[in-house]
Amino acid sequence: MAASRRTSPAPRRIVALKRADGEPLTRVDIQYDVLSGIFSDNHEVFSDPYSATEEGNKLCFRDLYIKSILHSPKATKALKDKMIESSVFALDFAMLSLLVNVGRVNTTMSFFPEMKTAIRTYHPVPSLQRTNGNMQDAPRIKHILKTSLLEDEAKAPPSTPSDILARCKVGQPPSTSVTNLIFVLAHHTGPVGQMHFQGRLDFIDLFMRTEVSSASRVQCFLWLCFNYLEAPSSEDDYDEEPVPNPFADKAKPTSPPPFTLLTSDEVLLENQESPEDIAMSEKLVSHRNRIVQNQGTKESGKASAKASVNGSVVGDDDELPVLPTEETKYKAKRAAPVAASAKRKGKRAVITKEKKTVVIKEKQKEKDPISAHLPDLDDEDDDLLDAFIKQPYSPRQRRVREQYEHSLSLLSSLGASSSLNGPTLGNGYASSHRHRYSPYPQNHYTSPSKDGHRSRLRSHSQHVSHPRSMLQQAWQAVQSTDPLVDSDEEEGGDEYTREDYVQRLTVINRLSQQHWPPYSPDMNIDPI
């Protein structure tokens, strides 16, 4: 059992820097002395892959690395112009790019104070921000370096150290672009350390191990770059003598330079912050804080503007009013794609609110055809009727109104003395149930729609602030009922409505027997 158990894999090494948002990256964090030593070396021993001549020029590492950035298709014109214009900015940007190249700076970091996204953290780098150029962010820098390839390797760049060495032996130097070489060495940091440093250090340790002197780490890094780009330093069967590595140990030309270990006191002497770095760090942090505060003020202003309509601020308990014009535009824009999609898919057209009301009324007519003819009542009917009654009357209109009221009083007295069977209603009408012959069993059931309508009439009358006069009640009865329809009901549910119809005919008959003066155009008769 014990022999079959697998050993636990070694924990993954954390290479990238971890700092809180807004915290500067110091010289110790980025190992500034190593970066400065790499880019200050003046050995012009690297082939220029971008030279127009066949022989090519020889460049130092600084110029080779900056040229590779300038020839990247993802480098913007503004970045190229700034690097060509300012050599200081070009050097600072190249140093920061090398940290991204080896993986010390991951893609969650940003280095310009105007950064707004919440998925990255801002970090000023005082020692590498000596100018006002835009340092961009780590994802963009990494994309620039990834696309900086030579013409013959654009489709299939070498991805292992052995592939790069094979290309270096059979082809013309350089074997690959310098940025791709560093990506490959960082990805195979352990095997590279085993192959060249006997396992004492990995490749990534050249940018992390502070107990090893910066100068010796610089020499080892440049030795690796020359070994893989120009000529391998290992002995082989070639008749020609291998090209010596200018960064090798003089005592052993085919071996990498030795490492120099430092004491704890000597470690403190390297990567010291300068007064200019401290002042620049405070300046960049305060500048970032002002930008964040201004962005917060703008966001709060936008939020308050959304909550303010027509100059009035809406509270937490209030609702936002909807402007009719905006609502109409929104409905028009929303209805257009819905109708278009309905036509394309062959579906039934969208039913609007008005059409739905018509459909509901049609269903009500099928269930209860009598109550469907009754109009809906609201408080505006009484208001319009009051305004109509309060109009001034002409003498002729006043006499007609008096005769009409006298006829109604006669009808009331006639209803009280009527010999019709049934109890007397509160309005003076007599109720009598005259049943017609019907072959179907009769039950005294009233449709729910009619009951609902009558309940609305009762609730409507309870909300009226003043009682109706006789003329108002008569007018309301004319507008809200239809005796002809109600009298045709087979079950005879509303007998007093038919009695009302009979008494109206009696009034018309009596008025027709009176002597009326002939009509002349000079008479001022307005309809009541």
Which stretch of DSSP H or E encloses residue 32? Answer: helix 32-39
Contact predicate 234/161, CB 8 Å: no
pLDDT at position 497 is 65
Burial class (CB in 10 A: 0-12, 13-18, 19+), 228: buried
pLDDT at 486 > cutoff 60: no
SS3 (DSSP) at 522? coil
SS3 (DSSP) at 127? helix
CA-based max dimension of the chain: 147
Q: What confidence tens digit (pLDDT) does each residue in 266-292 have?
A: 999 999 999 999 999 899 888 888 888
Strand partners, 486: none
137 DSSP 8-state letter = B
d(CA 59, CA 368): 99
pLDDT at position 2 is 44
pLDDT at 256 > cutoff 80: yes
Please compute Rg for the chain using Cα positions. 49
| Angle, alpha carbons 152-158-162 (nearest 5°) | 130
502 pLDDT tier (thresholds 50, 70, 90): confident
Centre a 10 Å sphere on the Cβ of residue 123 and count the other Cβ atoms it contains: 25
pLDDT at 38 > cutoff 70: yes
HSE, side-chain direction, 13 A CA sphere, residue 515: 0
The dihedral region occupied by 136, where left means phi > 0, alpha psi between -120 and 50, and beta the remainder, is left
517 pLDDT tier (thresholds 50, 70, 90): low
Q: What confidence tens digit (pLDDT) does each residue in 348-384 have?
A: 444 454 555 555 556 555 555 444 444 444 444 445 4
| Interval 185-199 mean pLDDT | 94
Check the CA dihedral 227-101-130-77 and report its sign.
positive
Q: What confidence tens digit (pLDDT) does each residue in 301-331 have?
A: 666 665 554 444 433 334 434 444 444 444 4
Q: How large is the angle between the packed helices 495-513 and 395-416, nearest 10 degrees?
A: 130
Which distant-in-sequence residues (6+ apart) come within 8 Å of 67 by Cβ?
48, 50, 59
Q: Taking all residues of the chain, what is their mean pLDDT, rounded to a whole number? A: 74
| Interval 211-225 mean pLDDT | 97
Contact predicate 103/15, CB 8 Å: yes
d(CA 224, CA 245): 9
Burial class (CB in 10 A: 0-12, 13-18, 19+), 231: middle
Q: What confidence tens digit (pLDDT) does each residue in 393-423 have?
A: 567 667 766 776 776 666 656 555 444 444 4
Contact predicate 250/223, CB 8 Å: no
**Got the DSSP string for 208-256?**
T-TTB-HHHHHHHHHHHHHHHHT---S--S-SSPPPPPTTS-SS-TTSP
First to last CA, the chain: 110
d(CA 203, CA 196): 9
d(CA 295, CA 315): 24
pLDDT at 190 > cutoff 60: yes
d(CA 15, CA 207): 10
pLDDT at position 412 is 59
Contact predicate 100/146, CB 8 Å: no
Chain mean position to CA 509 = 76
pTM above 0.95, yes or no: no
HEC secondary structure over 408-430: HHHHHHHHHCCCCCCCECCCCCE
